[in-house]
Amino acid sequence: MIRSVVRGFGAALPKRVMTNREMEDVVDTSDEWIVQRTGIRQRYIAGDGETTSSLGEQAARAALDKAGLTSADIDLIICATSTPDNTFPATAVNIQNRLGMHHGFAFDVQAVCTGFVYAVTTADAYIRGGLAKRALVIGAETFSRILDWNDRTTCVLFGDGAGAIVLEAAEGEGTTADRGILTAHLRSDGSHKEKLFVDGGPSTTGTVGKLRMEGREVFKYAVGMITDVIQAAFDSTGTTAEDLDWLVPHQANRRIIDGSAKKLHIAPEKVVITVDLHGNTSAASIPLALATAAGDGRIKKGDLVMLEAMGGGFTWGAMLLRW
C-alpha cells in the first residue's frame, strides 16, 4: 500500500522576539502570571515585509533543502492558515509563485489551530489516491495582526511563524512498522463557535476583525477532545502510549498539554514542548515543534510520533505517523 512519508522539514520565524517583560509595557499583565497560566515566556511578532506567505516560503524552502528536493519535484502545496495574505487568492498560491513553481496545484486549508493536522491528512489522501507524488504541507500564521492588543486575556497568548514538511509517496506493507502516516482522526463541532472566533469577515462585517476567546470554556473542553482523538488513533492501529516515542501537540497552553498527556499516561519526557519559545502560533504550531525536535535530533527515523491539535470552531484531530 501507499504511505505518505516525511522527507523533509523546515521552519521560519519573524525577526522580532517579544518577551513577557515587554508585554508588561503593553497590557496589565506580568511575566509570572503568563508563565504560570500558559507556560509562554516569549513569542515572535511579524514586522514590516513579513507576511504569512513570506514566512511560509522560508519554511517551505528549508523543508525542500532538508529533503534534497526543489519546487520542481513538488506536485501539490497545501497551506494551513487562518491569517491569509488576501481574502483570495490562497496563500498557498502566493507561496507557489514565490517558489517559482508554475505547475501542479495549491490551495489553503482553514481549520484554525487544527489546520496543520487537517492539511497533512488532506495531502495524504491526495498521495494515496494517486493525484500527487510529493506534497509540500505548510502551516503559516501572522496572528499578531488579528489580535486586540488591549485584551490582556488573548494578546499574550499568540505569536507568528511558519513550519513545513515534504511528504512523498512510498510503498508500505500495511503494518504499523511502515514509515509514513498510519492513521488520522478529524473532528469538528460548530456549536462552539462563540467560544473562540474572529469577530469579522468579508460577508458579515466587511472587516478582518479581531480574535475573541472565552479562555475558561476552551480549556474546559480541550483535554477531553484531545484525548478522544488520540485514543482513537491508538485504537485504530493497535498501539498504546507505551509504543509512542513522541507526542507533538499543538502548542497552546502548557497546562492543556500536561493534562492531556497525564490522562493518556504518556510520559512527560515523550512530549515536545515549544510553547515557551513560540507561544500559540495556531496552524504553524505543530510544524514548528516538529522542526525543533527533529532538528535537534530528538525525533529520529523510525520513531512513532503522534500529532494532535484543537482549534476554534471547535475543530480537533490527531495523527499517528512513523518518522
Tens of pLDDT, residue by residue over 125-161, are 999 999 999 999 999 999 999 999 999 999 999 999 9
Rounded to an integer, the average pLDDT of 264-289 is: 98
Give residue 104's Cα distance to chain centre.
23
The residue whose grid cell reads 462552539 is 192
Q: Tell how far CA 165 is from the center of its chain.
A: 11
Would you state the pLDDT for residue 268?
97
| pLDDT score, position 237 | 98
CA distance 182 to 64: 23
User: What pLDDT score was predicted for residue 110?
Assistant: 98
Q: pLDDT tier at 253 (50, 70, 90 boundaries)?
A: very high
Burial 204-224 (b: 16+ CB within 10 A, else e): eeeeeebbbbeeeebeebbbe
Q: Which of 255, 242, 253 is nearest to 306 (CA)?
A: 242
pTM of the model: 0.98
Task: Give pLDDT, residue 231.
Answer: 98
pLDDT of residue 264: 96
Average pLDDT, the chain: 98
Average pLDDT, integer, range 99-117: 98
Cα–chain center distance at 298: 19
Q: What is the predicted pLDDT for the residue at 92?
A: 99
Beta-sheet strands, E only, within the chain: 2-12, 16-19, 42-45, 76-80, 105-109, 134-142, 160-171, 180-188, 196-198, 211-213, 246-249, 304-311, 315-322
State residue 103's pLDDT score. Answer: 98
pLDDT of residue 228: 97
Spatial separation of the C-alpha atoms in residues 2 and 160, rounded to whole Å: 34
The contacts of residue 220 (CB under 8 Å, 6+ apart) are: none
Domains of the chain: residue spans and CATH:
2-171 (3.40.47.10), 180-322 (3.40.47.10)
Angle at 112 between CA 110 and CA 206, to 5 degrees: 70
**Residues in contact with 179: Cβ distance below 8 Å, sequence separation at least 6, in sequence order:** 3, 5, 170, 172, 301, 302, 322, 323
Phi-psi map region of 162: left, alpha, beta (phi>0 left; psi -120 to 50 alpha)? beta
d(CA 33, CA 30): 5
How far is it, in rounded angstroms, from Cα 124 to Cα 75?
A: 13
Question: Bridge-partner residues for 42, per DSSP?
Answer: 19
Does the CA dihedral 115-117-122-124 come out positive or negative?
A: positive
What is the set of active-site residues?
113, 250, 280
CA within 13 Å, CB half, 202: 4
